[in-house]
A and B are shown apart, each in its own frame.
Chain A
Amino acid sequence: MDALQPDEIEAIHTATLRILSEIGVILEQPEARTLLTAAGATISAQNRVLIPPQLVEWALAQCPPTLSTRGRGGTTVTLGDGSLRWHNLGGARDVFDPATTQIRAATVQDVCTAAQILDALENCTCVTPFFTPQDVPGELMGLAMYRHTLPHTTKPVYGPGVQTARETQYFVRMAEVLGNPSEVTMMAISPVSPLNFPAHLVEAMMEAARSGLPFGALPCPTAGATAPLTISGAIAQQNAEVLASIVLVQLVKPGLPVLYCGRLAMMEPRTGVSVWGGVELGLASAGTVAMGHRYRLPVNVYGFSTNSHTLDLQNGFERAINALIPALAGADELSGIGEMDAGVASSFAQMVIDNELAASIHRTLRGFSTDAEALAVEVIASAMNTTRNFLGQKHTRNHLKSGEILLTRLAERGTWGEWEKRGRGSLATRAQAEADRLIAEHHVPPLEPAQESALDEIMSAAHKELVR
């Protein structure tokens, strides 16, 4: 599916170059300014940094076409190889319990449990530290999220939301416990829309780049509030924010692997907050994919995304539409496994449901074949000459095995009577039971004792320095 035609992509690209070279970005961190101006950027009358098209083109030419991370289990995930990958929502505040339909504040234990469940879900390729644990001081929250995710998954673990250079350094030290930080993790940083790069974020970006961490440029504009209300205008601004980030990190470390990320959502016109469930989000994500691919970069956008507070119909249709559109547009990685309530909450049942939904989206992307084997004229002849049905045909068994029909585990496909006999359970109750089973049964190989103590030491040093 092409969300944008080639001439539309060029129009957005041209608009982006104008934003960067004529309007500029707010960026006052002295070291970064010096780097940028030495490379050809200039300072506007409004004290913004103007980035010329040649510098943007230079930076894009430095970016490799793929980005890889390796889990401690040994699996390497490469984004940009043409297949679709998934990771979970990062940074949810609350845990939703489908049984009571109540929420509670997330704790460190929930960070661990989420990682364990995500480790078990085959469609979750990389794990982002899930919850913001409220039993940890604010200054340590991001680092604690990463620390407590590591022991509970062998998949690649992405960095937490990091705000400063010091936090970045502690994060890199923890990654070193697993291996070379540039191989075992990646880190995303969000400039503040519109076009604002505060000093502490710039310092974190530069620190990450110096450490060779694969870098995700992750603006989160809200169309109508912190970006133009029109989707194309907001994509152009978001593109400028991504490209400015890329220019900066490539100046620090030429050749650094970069992930083109976008989190563009529309404004709720009555409250001003971001709408995560509206279908415009899926459209904007598809447009974002088209822009990132114009630059031959792997693209990561919102996938599963809803405003719904519970596991209801709204939740289901919003997340399905919002994931399917960018998936069809060719996204390299979708976020959002487990997301609920505009990213504020999650439930373990939701994570399990999303694993199944992701399978349906993969099935959609796979489409169906029209070769002679699939067209099956000989098989039709054979059936017509014998039983006049296809149940006994070898062709049927072969293609059942090769996945022509996606077998679901949680979706109800029985009759009314069978469903009644099983106690009339809903998808949510089946998903919760599956989550409970995974918590009880899914074993994750632990870290080495030396790794555990190394992580504890780093956390305790961070505590001493960062917590007031």
Chain B
Amino acid sequence: MSKELFDAMRQSIIDGDPELAAELAQKAVELGIDPIEVLNQGFVPGVSYVGEQFGLGEMFLPELVVAGEAMKAAVAVLEPEFTRRGTERQILGRVVIGTIEGDIHEIGKSLVATMLSASGFQVYDMGVDVPIMTFIEKAREVKADIIGISALLTTTMVRQKDVIEALEDNGMRGQVKVMVGGAPVTQSWAKEIGADGYSEDAVGAVVIAKTMMGAA
């Protein structure tokens, strides 16, 4: 019974079907299956499969995104069950992410958020045009492990540096890793401003974030 259910869960992620994923998660809750088992044996193998196929060039970003959405739907159903049992979903780390102040470009940042969330991170997406201190305050509030800062414009990219300086000013630089991204951002820019990580795309960002958490 469980085997069949787990297979269906895996497939719901691969097919990118949030409704079905939520329905299957609900069924597992009703059957009293441990949510840790549900995640690890049902849904996560789906995410892993999609990731592998993407790496092989057999699947593409849109398929990754819908798989991420399906995973999110499943986790949303399982969250209360974790709370009820007094256990916690194993997360790889907490990430505060947003597009920097003055910049309202959203898609790259949202992709990274979706990919991180699907890969087991707890993601706090602060949206676009995020003031520097909002990054800092949110990171303090949720005890973030990583701050992710996106910028599409060369003119706003320069403010990524201000977030790092603000972390230093607030004595938080030692506890929080910083990753930067966006079209004009390069490895050398990341290095120049003292960021801990940089990736050219959303899938690479997950690898970087995992490395930062020692989970790669």
CB of B201 within 8 A of CB of A271, answer yes
- B158 CB–A CB distance under 8 Å: yes
In the complex, A138 Cα to B160 Cα: how many Å?
Answer: 11
Q: 1/0 contact trace for A167-200 toward B, CB 8 Å? A: 0000000000000000000000000100010100
In the complex, A202 Cα to B106 Cα: how many Å?
Answer: 18
The range of chain A's interface size is: 20 to 34
In the complex, A134 Cα to B106 Cα: how many Å?
Answer: 24
Report B-chain residues with C-beta under 8 Å of the C-beta of A225.
107
- A139 CB–B CB distance under 8 Å: yes
- B96 CB–A CB distance under 8 Å: no
- B54 CB–A CB distance under 8 Å: yes
Q: Looking at the assembled complex, report how far the CB atom of A228 sits from the nearest CB atom of chain B, in whole angstroms.
A: 12
CB of B201 within 8 A of CB of A139, answer no
- A392 CB–B CB distance under 8 Å: no
CB of A132 within 8 A of CB of B61, answer no
CB of A272 within 8 A of CB of B158, answer no
Query: Given contacts A93-B154, A196-B104, A198-B104, is CB(A272)–CB(B202) below 8 Å?
Result: yes
- B41 CB–A CB distance under 8 Å: no
Which of A225, A226, A272 gathers most chain B CB within 10 Å?
A272
Nearest B residue to A131 via CB reads: B154
User: 8 Å CB contacts to A: which residues of B157-174?
Assistant: 157-159
Report A-chain residues with C-beta under 8 Å of the C-beta of B203.
270-271
Report A-chain residues with C-beta under 8 Å of the C-beta of B7.
none
Report B-chain residues with C-beta under 8 Å of the C-beta of A161.
153, 155
Q: 1/0 contact trace for A364-406 toward B, CB 8 Å? A: 0000000000000000000000000000000000000000000
CB of A272 within 8 A of CB of B108, answer yes
Report B-chain residues with C-beta under 8 Å of the C-beta of A222.
107
Report B-chain residues with C-beta under 8 Å of the C-beta of A163.
102, 153, 155
Query: Given contacts A272-B108, A344-B183, is CB(A139)–CB(B200) below 8 Å?
Result: no
Q: Looking at the assembled complex, report how far the CB atom of A339 sits from the nearest CB atom of chain B, in whole angstroms.
A: 14
Nearest A residue to B200 via CB reads: A271
Q: Looking at the assembled complex, report how far the CB atom of A91 sits from the nearest CB atom of chain B, in whole angstroms.
A: 7
CB of B60 within 8 A of CB of A270, answer yes
Nearest B residue to A343 via CB reads: B183
CB of A269 within 8 A of CB of B104, answer no
Chain B interfacial positions (CB closer than 8 Å to A): 54, 57, 60-62, 102, 104-108, 111, 153-159, 183-184, 200-203
| Pairs A–B under 8 Å by Cβ, sample size 7 | A132-B155, A139-B155, A163-B102, A222-B107, A225-B107, A270-B201, A272-B111
Other 4 A-B pairs with CB < 8 A, given A138-B159, A141-B154, A271-B202: A134-B154, A161-B153, A269-B61, A272-B111
